[in-house]
C-alpha cells in the first residue's frame, strides 16, 4: 500500500492509496457488510446500508461519532485501476452534521465584550 496524496476539504479530509489488490477484491472489501465489518465497525455506521452506490466504483456511508457531541459525517470510497494492475482507493471523509458549522464559527474567546474584574 502506498499513501499517494492527502488533501483537506473544507469539512473533512481526502486520502488516496495505491493498493496491490485488484479493484474487484477491494470493491468486495468496502461494499459487502461481512467483509466491511472487519475494518469499519458496525457501531460507527448510522445505517449498515450505503447511502449512495455506483457498483464497482463508489460507495458512501453515513457515520456517527461514538463520543459526544456524536457528530455525523459521510465517508465516500472511490476505486479504480491503477497503472500497476492494482487499485487506486480514494477516501473522502466529510463532516455533514449541521452542529459542526455552528461550532466552527465560534471563536475560541467567544468574541464577547471585555469584562472588568473586581479587585
What's 60's domain CATH number? 3.30.530.20
d(C-alpha 19, C-alpha 40), whole Å = 18
pLDDT, averaged per 10 consecutive residues of the chain (119 residues), comes to 52 91 96 92 89 96 86 93 95 80 54 58
pLDDT at 100: 57
**Inside any domain, residue 114:** no
**Inside any domain, residue 9:** yes
**Inside any domain, residue 100:** yes
pTM of the model: 0.73
**Inside any domain, residue 118:** no
d(C-alpha 90, C-alpha 117), whole Å = 53
Could you give the count of Cα atoms lying within 13 Å of 69 in the half-sphere of its Cβ? 10
d(C-alpha 71, C-alpha 64), whole Å = 6
| Nearest Cα residue to 63 out of 41, 46, 38 | 46
Residues in the chain: 119
Pairing of strands 87-95, 12-19: antiparallel
**Inside any domain, residue 97:** yes
In this structure, is the dihedral angle defined by the CA atoms of residues 95, 97, 99 and 102, taken in order, positive or negative?
Answer: positive
pLDDT at 12: 82
Q: Answer whether the bond into residue 69 is a cis peptide, omega within 30°.
A: yes
**Inside any domain, residue 111:** no
**Inside any domain, residue 40:** yes
**Inside any domain, residue 69:** yes
Amino acid at each position: 500500500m502506498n499513501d499517494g496524496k492527502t488533501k483537506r476539504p473544507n469539512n473533512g479530509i481526502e486520502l488516496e492509496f495505491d493498493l496491490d489488490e485488484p479493484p474487484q477484491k477491494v470493491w468486495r472489501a468496502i461494499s459487502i457488510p461481512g467483509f466491511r465489518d472487519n475494518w469499519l465497525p458496525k457501531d460507527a455506521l448510522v445505517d449498515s446500508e450505503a447511502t449512495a452506490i455506483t457498483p464497482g466504483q463508489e460507495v458512501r456511508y453515513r457515520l456517527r461519532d461514538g463520543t459526544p457531541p456524536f457528530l455525523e459525517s459521510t465517508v465516500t470510497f472511490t476505486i479504480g485501476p491503477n497503472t500497476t494492475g492494482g487499485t487506486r482507493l480514494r477516501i473522502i471523509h466529510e463532516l455533514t452534521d449541521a452542529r459542526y458549522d455552528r461550532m466552527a464559527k465560534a471563536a475560541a474567546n467567544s468574541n464577547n465584550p471585555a469584562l472588568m474584574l473586581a479587585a
